Structure 1
Amino acid sequence: MSAFARLKLFRPILAGATLRDRLFAALGALAGIALTALISAVAARHTPELIWIVPPMGASAVLLFAVPASPMAQPWPVIGGNVISALVGVAIAHVLPLSALSAGLAVGGAIALMSILRCLHPPGGAAALVGLFAGASSSYFFPLVPVGLNAAILVASAYLYHRVSGHAFPHVAPAPAAAPLAPAPFAFSRADMDATLAEIGETYDISPGDLETVLRAVERRALARAYHAITCRELMTEPVITVPVFASVEEARRLLVARDVRRLAVVDDAGRLAGAIGLPELVGAQGVVVTAASPAAAAAPDSPAMDLLRRFAQDRVHAVFVVDTDRRPIGVITEADWLAVLARGLK
């Protein structure tokens, strides 16, 4: 293996990790642990025999500051996981002597209880051993002070830090973008994702909501790339067939039939898009066009044409008018235009 290849082994393995984030995480952990130790030491000044900061806080800091989106780095897992695990360790110490068996029972029991109480936190395993090593001489108050106090201060420090760093904490998964086309066979469902996770049989350090959000974003990017990220300007047909707002409905009806189109752009005296009209609006209509026109679907020339698919599929839009900055129609995109693109993609 070359020296360059060996160096690659030390690249960050976390998805989305950047050098900037890692450096800021190190600074955040420095401040968080220092603040936790300082406040805890002040609180313990009248009881010098009390440990003022426990080792599991170092591992908790890694999660809180380096991977704040992890389900195991949220406030309840950090505080509850450490306190509950330390309590298990202390309880084992009160009924069994220190041994290999008691150590295994402490960590195994902590994992089981954290899982049941939905506060699984890796440093909890260390907290269980700390409680065990504190021994039967320690009281059941030990899981609260210093363990619980340490954890609460550290979580508060992480909250303040992430207000500055720009990361959401406590983490809330953003709502996943809907599939580009709901009925399309290539769009996965939440049931598909759950079934795939069950089939793989592995546990990943990401919430289902975050995983779905990531997969939806990847799906949209892949689909956009497959169709070359077409813009509305590239797909539109021109010129646009327009009708003035004060034209008669009979004139609009004749124009629709003569040009064999489904929608006409209704424009005002300045040529700006004021609405749209088709045969459905003209049924039984009388007078001028403006009284029968409906709101027009519009898009900017450089906006992704992919964004129009949902409007065609779900909003029942038959034509989207491409408008300039003054809202004058410069082109039109219909369902037929997109069908032609899709047909080319299937060749």
Structure 2
Amino acid sequence: MRRHLYGYFNRMRGLEAPPSRAHMSHVMWSGIGAFLGIYFISVLNQYIFENTSDSIFLVGSFGASAVLLYGVPQSELSQPRNLIGGHILSASIGITVYQYIPLETPVLSALAVTLSIVVMHFTRTLHPPGGATALIAVIGSSQIHALGYMFVLTPIATGALILLMIALVVNNMSSNPKRHYPRYWW
């Protein structure tokens, strides 16, 4: 038993040195992309909603998508298929779970995230912020719940498309081929 526990905990020590810090140009392009992506979503939010306290377009999972799209654009998790598919599928699952399964919020939250992960794996659209999108559909405000499946189209699909357009422009402005985006579409 002791030997098994030692082996188990030994796996957690890590085997590699951490990666080196990113080059300043990579940091700069990441910052520009993140700023522009979130800024354009925010501007759209202001024009659609007169009351600026209604930030329905500023979905928290978009911040995590910005980290992937602009920070690690070559990652499999950052590709357009993953960004769009992961968010749309997860939002659909979150809304469905919330509207049609009569259980307590903690169970619905866990179920929405779990189902989203499983579906994203099966569809090859794994995008970690999608799990947050599913969770937001369950625990979100009454405004989000009132949108129903419209939540999938706006703000989710609309915001993801804005982030994608900015990623295409900014990531390809760099002369570094390791930043060029996307690696593949579908």
Task: Give me the TM-score of the superposition, normalised by structure 1.
Answer: 0.43
Does structure 1 conserve the Cα–Cα contact (< 8 Å) formed by 2:32 and 2:170?
Answer: no
Which one has the bigger helix percentage? 2
Distance 1:169 1:34 in 2: 20
Over alpha carbons, which structure has the higher Rg? Answer: 1
Q: Does 1:171 align with 2:171?
A: no
Distance 1:158 1:68 in 2: 8
Does structure 2 conserve the Cα–Cα contact (< 8 Å) formed by 1:90 and 1:138?
Answer: no
Shift of 1:149: 0.5
Distance 1:117 1:37 in 2: 30
Q: Does 1:143 align with 2:152?
A: yes
Q: Does 1:159 align with 2:171?
A: no
Shift of 1:169: 0.8
Which one has the bigger strand percentage? 1
Q: Does 1:72 align with 2:77?
A: yes
Which residue among 102, 108, 114 is the counterpart of 1:108? 114
Distance 1:98 1:50 in 2: 26
Match of residue 92 from structure 1: 97
Does structure 2 conserve the Cα–Cα contact (< 8 Å) formed by 1:40 and 1:146?
Answer: no
Does structure 1 conserve the Cα–Cα contact (< 8 Å) formed by 2:105 and 2:138?
Answer: no
Match of residue 4 from structure 2: none
Distance 2:81 2:87 in 1: 10
Change (3 A) 1:13 1:83: farther
Change (3 A) 1:15 1:123: farther
**CA-atom RMSD in angstroms:** 2.5
Structure 1: runs of 5 or more not aligned: 1-11, 173-347
Identity of aligned residues (%): 31
Distance 1:49 1:18 in 2: 38
Does structure 2 conserve the Cα–Cα contact (< 8 Å) formed by 1:107 and 1:129?
Answer: yes
Tell me which of the two structures has the higher relative contact order, counting C-alpha pairs closer than 8 angstroms and 6 or more residues apart. Answer: 2
Cα deviation per residue 1:234-277 (whole Å; 9 max; x = unaligned)?
xxxxxxxxxxxxxxxxxxxxxxxxxxxxxxxxxxxxxxxxxxxx
Task: Give me the TM-score of the superposition, normalised by structure 2.
Answer: 0.77
Distance 1:100 1:120 in 2: 23
Q: Does 1:82 align with 2:87?
A: yes
Pairs within 5 Å for 1:171-320: 171-172=183-184
Match of residue 13 from structure 2: none
Shift of 1:118: 1.1
Distance 1:14 1:43 in 2: 42
